[in-house]
Structure 1
Amino acid sequence: MAKITYIEHNGTKHEVEVATGLTVMEGARDNSIPGIEADCGGACACSTCHVYVDPAWVEKLPAIDPMEEDMLEFAYEPDTARSRLTCQLKVTDALDGLVVQMPEKQI
Structure 2
Amino acid sequence: MQHHVIVSFGKDSEFDFKFSGGAAPDEARKWFDHEFRVLECDVATPTGKILAVDRILSVAKYAGENRFQQQSAWADQFAKYTAALLGRDLIRVDVEHYSIGY
Q: Normalization by structure 1: what TM-score?
A: 0.35
Structure with greater helix share of residues: 2
Larger radius of gyration: 2
Q: Normalization by structure 2: what TM-score?
A: 0.36
